[in-house]
């Protein structure tokens, strides 16, 4: 493995699609991913993996099955524990940095038209 | 484990000492830590753990044994692979977010006056 450094915002220039996480780094069996989000995603959970969202730009809303919604703004972090169903959505374009195990699928156990199976590095 | 959310900058208000990482979240056997850095730290490596530094404020310099120095500014990320000796230093106060396995000691295998053994949550 090599020493790696990058500017988070500059990396987003390489992302054109929404809901399509791209890998920017790996460490300790985890991936750091960047994604642009807009609109609604699917309800899903990750049976064995916790997931961290850091909002780089915009405001991310996260619905939970108890009816609550977390509002995560730029500079804020949300950790969703394994097994907790969640549904991300946004009103505008949102940039997030994700931290999760390499095995994590972004739609969890739900196969969906938006499920990306071949992760691309940027 | 609970759903957790926080504002990164607000958390730094709880840190008064330099070179003393505080834990803000855990996921998948990893800790997310925040630290204020100023001046020079000790040369060290982590035999089995990769380490991620995200600069939240200021400019972090990282020396390596080949004589090179990485300059990591606000909004930039550096990943130091396991086994790579590194020495962080700053000219001014720097705020960093760290991502590393729970077992990682911040001074690696070097026991040092700055080594913190009891990690505090904030």
* Residue from A56, A98, A94 nearest A80 by CA: A98
The parent domain of residue B104 ranges over: 8-121
Q: Which pLDDT score, from 0 to 100, does residue B107 have?
A: 72
Q: How confident is the model at residue B6 (pLDDT cuts 50, 70, 90)?
A: very high
Q: B-chain residues within 8 Å CB-CB of A9?
A: 75
Listing from the earlier edge strand, what are the strands of the sheet with B22-27? A4-7, B76-80, B51-57, B94-101, B30-37, B22-27, B120-121
- Six-digit token string for B89: 């230093």
Q: How confident is the model at residue A111 (pLDDT cuts 50, 70, 90)?
A: low
* Residue B40 included in any domain: yes
* Residue A3 included in any domain: no
Regarding predicted confidence, which is higher, B6 or A102?
B6
Picking from B7, B11, B24, B27 by the largest number of A CB atoms within 10 A of its own CB, the best residue to mutate is B27
Q: Please say if the pLDDT value at position A117 is more than 70.
A: no
Element (H, E) at A34: strand A30-37
* Residue A109 included in any domain: yes
Split into its structural domains, chain B has a count of: 1
* pLDDT tens column, B13-55: 999 999 999 999 999 999 999 999 999 999 999 999 999 999 9
* Residue from B115, B114, B119, B113 nearest B101 by CA: B119
* Residue A2 included in any domain: no
CB spacing of B4 vs A72 below 8 angstroms:
no
Q: pTM here?
A: 0.92
Q: How confident is the model at residue A43 (pLDDT cuts 50, 70, 90)?
A: very high
Judged by a CB distance cut-off of 8 A, whether residue B122 touches chain A is no
How far A21 CA lies from chain B's nearest CA (Å)? 17
Q: How confident is the model at residue B1 (pLDDT cuts 50, 70, 90)?
A: confident
* pLDDT tens column, B69-101: 999 999 999 999 999 999 999 999 999 999 999
- CATH for A49: 2.60.120.10
Q: Which pLDDT score, from 0 to 100, does residue B119 have?
A: 84
* Residue B2 included in any domain: no
* Residue from A112, A117, A98 nearest A30 by CA: A98
Of B2, B78, B80, the CB nearest to A81: B2
Which single residue is written with the structure tokens 């619905």? A63
- Six-digit token string for A89: 């959505």
Element (H, E) at B9: helix B8-12
DSSP summary character for residue A25: E
* Residue B3 included in any domain: no
Q: What 3-state DSSP class applies to A11?
A: helix
- Six-digit token string for A24: 């920017």
Q: Is residue A93 left, alpha or beta, with left meaning phi > 0 and alpha meaning psi from -120 to 50?
A: beta
Element (H, E) at B11: helix B8-12
Q: Please say if the pLDDT value at position B10 is more than 80.
A: yes
* pLDDT tens column, A63-88: 999 999 999 999 999 999 999 999 99
How far A82 CA lies from chain B's nearest CA (Å)? 8
Which single residue is written with the structure tokens 């300059």? B71
Pairing of strands B22-27, B120-121: parallel
ipTM of the prediction = 0.91
* Residue B57 included in any domain: yes
- Cα–Cα distance, B121 to B118 (Å, whole number): 10
Which single residue is written with the structure tokens 């991936």? A31
* Residue B82 included in any domain: yes
* pLDDT tens column, B101-117: 998 777 776 666 667 66
Q: Which pLDDT score, from 0 to 100, does residue B118 have?
A: 72
């Amino acid at each position: 493995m090599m020493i790696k450094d990058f500017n988070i915002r500059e990396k987003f220039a390489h992302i054109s699609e929404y809901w399509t996480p791209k890998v920017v780094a790996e460490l300790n069996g985890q991936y750091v991913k960047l994604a642009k989000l807009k609109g609604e995603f699917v309800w899903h959970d990750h049976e064995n993996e916790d997931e961290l969202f850091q909002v780089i730009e915009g405001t991310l809303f996260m619905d939970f099955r108890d009816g609550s919604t977390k509002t995560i703004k730029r500079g804020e972090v949300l950790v969703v524990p394994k097994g907790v169903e969640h549904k991300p959505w946004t009103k505008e374009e949102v940039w997030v940095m994700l931290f999760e195990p390499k095995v994590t699928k972004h739609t969890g156990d739900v196969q969906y038209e938006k499920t990306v199976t071949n992760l691309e590095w940027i």
